[in-house]
Amino acid sequence: MRDMRGTITIAQCKTGIIQIGFNSFGFIVGHGEALWSSTANIRFEGKARFACNPKLRLAGELVFGHEFEAGHDFTLMCQKQISFGTHSLFSWNVTIMDCDGHRIFDENNIEINRPRPIIIGSQTWIGCHVTILKGSILPEGTIVAAHAVVTKKIDEKACIIAGNPCRVVKKNVHTG
């Protein structure tokens, strides 16, 4: 952990409720380090697990719903606000950013790339190598296919989205 000037709230504080560095999916070797820099207000609603090598740069408001699980090399940049519903599951090499990581100004010196909130609903499954960018909203039951890039609000619940940019490819699905 680097800078930790923010706050961390744990709804039900028990041993093992937050795990960092576990071996995910049974075949990825755990190595490297966790990078966690935070001036954010973070709330854990329940159990949260981060596999090997999570990279978290946090400065806004962040909520992890119960049963949050992130695979190997999970990257999270929160400048404004990100929330995860209950039972949010992320495969390996997923990147989530509510900002661009830098500021851009127009000719009048007005910032034109401000951070925007991200909302990930409950019962979501995010495949490997997915990128979720600022302003994205995924409703309950969304499944995101591998390598998809999410840049907007998805209106359809219980669907599969895929592609770059992503689009709904299947409706009325669930993970069982």
pLDDT tens digits, the chain, 176 residues: what are they?
555 677 888 888 788 888 887 765 554 455 555 556 678 889 999 999 999 888 888 888 999 999 999 999 999 999 999 999 999 999 999 999 999 989 999 999 999 999 999 999 999 999 999 999 999 999 999 999 999 999 999 999 999 999 999 999 999 998 87
The residues spanned by each domain of the chain are: 7-22+33-101+114-171
Name residue, tokens 């709330």: 43
If you count DSSP H runs as helices and E runs as strands, how many of each does the chain have, helices first? 0, 20
Domain 7-22+33-101+114-171 sits in CATH at 2.160.10.10
**125 touches 141 (CB < 8 A):** no
CA distance 54 to 149: 20
Residue 143 carries which side chain, given as an amino acid letter? I
CA distance 14 to 84: 20
pTM over 0.85: yes
How many residues are given for the chain? 176
